[in-house]
Amino acid sequence: MDDRLTTDEYDALTQIGKSSRGDRPSACIARNSKKLNGLKFISHAKDGHLALTEKGQQTLFLRQCIEGLRAVSTDSLANLAADVALFLGKKGHITRADDGTYAITQRGQESLTDIDTSAKS
């Protein structure tokens, strides 16, 4: 089965990650929960509550990193979450100047190119 997710499925994952126990699932979550559960991105508790699995959390973080890398490639003043900036910096995809701006490295640009190429195929 293909692990590629649509924008709607990513939105459902994000909503599940932000929901609390008493929240009623949105229509987006209801539409996508069967596939997300089948791919092991979410789990159902006995009380019916949906929760992200470790795979789901990693997938959302990876998406945030890709979006952050794209943001830095177009805007050096992009606002990145601390964990995303730390990860991208450790991996050598971005650098941070003393004035607080970010710059994408050659490695980061190559990664974006690879991501865009694999998304088209």
pLDDT digits (tens, 9 = 90+) for 96-112: 988 889 999 999 999 99
Q: For position 2, what pLDDT does the model report?
A: 55
73 plus 43 within the same structural domain: no
36 plus 72 within the same structural domain: no
Q: Is residue 57 one of the residues assigned to a domain?
A: no
CA distance 26 to 65: 26
**Statement: the pTM of the whole predicted model exceeds 0.75:** yes
* Helix axes of 106-120 and 54-74: crossing angle, nearest 10 degrees: 120
Q: Is residue 58 one of the residues assigned to a domain?
A: no
Q: Is residue 33 one of the residues assigned to a domain?
A: yes
Domain count, the chain: 2
Domain interval for residue 13: 7-52
User: What does the mean pLDDT of the chain come to?
Assistant: 90
69 plus 44 within the same structural domain: no
Q: What is the pLDDT of residues 54-77, one digit of tens each?
A: 999 999 999 999 999 999 999 989
Q: Is residue 2 one of the residues assigned to a domain?
A: no
Sign of CA dihedral 116, 3, 28, 84: negative
